[in-house]
Chain A
């Protein structure tokens, strides 16, 4: 059995590649028009945001109410970098995304170090405050364009970029959760004192998971800025943080698959409901309430989609059938 362990990974890789090829062919053949490909880009950005927030809120168990704040610092840092670095765009864009992520990390450390050394829900309050402070700060400082917004950001976000980065985010966070370090993070969620007694440096792992989440939010911010071309500080308000949190809760805290599905559905849903004009937010909320009523742990709970499991079931069935024959 052990030699076949790589097969599920290859299947996933092939599926992801196939999805990418199909979507990009459809886009270049203009079957998916620019309006829809714009929505696809937002889907990928929201996947990055939801999966990274799930790391902090679902797996680490710390409520984060300012994910849009990290996104905004990443968005502004990345935009200012591509606008003023003077490097050719093909080089400056990837660096800008990295810069966006790293600036978000810096803010994550500033908030996380005092909040995560304590046991309890202090991080929720601090991130809530951070989200609002950063919005007001962006309005106040000169180089962000203030209330008028930051415009003239080159439109560099392509479908290839967001797709690859969304897949990378999911892959990295998935690998992290299934590593020794990820197990430590989950142990802290389960019981912080027992984790400490087992020798896990709780402050370190809490900070690591939280800062990782902030990093990917910053990268998502950079992608968003170069997709829309204009940054309005009002966009990154508390409501947007909650919107991302809804994706995590709806998909299931502690399920990466759930976050991905919820991010896709909740980005497409308001668009699909556009025909109902003013009723669409009503329908959106009714769907959310129904899910929470009938499946309070979220659509998937903590379940993960696994090709390996399907594969095992299939081979077992085959083996059983052979035995019977």
Chain B
């Protein structure tokens, strides 16, 4: 008689490479979901000429060392319940022997086609029931967004855990309670039977642990590796005794699969637990399709249906194998993607934690400066309607703070004016004096007083800034041009330039605005001028006894580090203001258009003064106010205080 070893094939390079790749992908899936990586290996080996029994034997022989390495790795992550795996493994061993016995009986009675039909039918029935349930469960978790929530016990698991059969109770760490080992026997037995039938016992073992015993999914998939190890050793002894194990094949697959199983095990530490269900469910459903496709072939072989042409049978079988391999590739793809995304997020989390710690260590708590009390205010008017709001607010601010108030206006003397008759200039000057007198009268009518200043010059902004410097003004108050057409888009040219060149803060007041009475909104971006803005907002809040909302706007493109910094900065400003006994709240809001977010937040919170920092640039940069500040000033319906750093 020919020795069995004569059926061991000669290995070529392509065959070896294929086995390595299949081994790696299968290992990746097994490392992640506990099993399921081996079912393509038997047909894959057969496709390169390995006889069926040798393929099955060699597959099992590579599974137990793979499961051992995977179980050890995942035990290091605290995911393995060794006791549960061992208890289930013992009954699985019995189930496997019984499953193999049934297989042999069917083969004797109905031949090769009968055996294949039984295997395919087992695939389809088990995978349809369990696979759709697992996938539905994963979908429910995904849909409800309960990714982080603790996995819920099924009614069946609650009932199993409530059973108390004296003398049979065992404590399992993964379930954190005692259950009767009598319950584990059918589960292990079914797992073993399925392993003997379709080479993937875990498709019953893992869902049964999750749904019938209440084991968390990550621990179920890890403990399945213990069962796979026990069954693998048993299977190897059984087939090895018959001389069917080609150890070369097994070790080549192992060479690839150990890389895979390590990576799959690492992957479980980065993903949310429900991903185990997603991968398992997806693979199960695709494999179901692959096995359903070939059922007509076996029915035809058994002459239960009209015969199928041999070439069509071959095509269906090739298609079935292709889909089965695809299931594994898709499963591996989901795992790798989850691993890459998980690692990326983890690195970001670490970077955020490091940045937050370093920021917290580097930045001292903010202390509000006692200086800059708005003791001297300068309000500029051109006599137009646009100045009425500025005059009203300046007068009421000064009155409330008992501050010195100067109202200024100017006569424009330019190159073209010099050629004019003296009476024209005098008339212009008289008109400006009248404007100032009217302003003074209005302020007096409001119960306060103001000094008036008339200046002559070419550029309004230069005269305003010069006067503010001369008088050591703490604040310049100006009106805002109209809110229609171009004026809506642009802050008046003079206003922009005053903000750019003045050393003190500038308050821009829309025509209809009045003094603030409800709330101050402080927009902060964590910069140096934002600190000054916080100090100014604090001063105003104390003068008027108003609450402050500290707001930071995040653009969607900001990374996690920048978001963490923004939150930290907002907290820091809030704490500093709270220490000054100011009522303060804060918000970090995301938006594409920060100016629109600031204006909308002010409206929603009933804020009637917005405080912002200004860059305080030098040179040409002085002319650039910053698009956010300019838009807020241009569109806000309340006064906007621009604080210079």
Partners in one complex: no
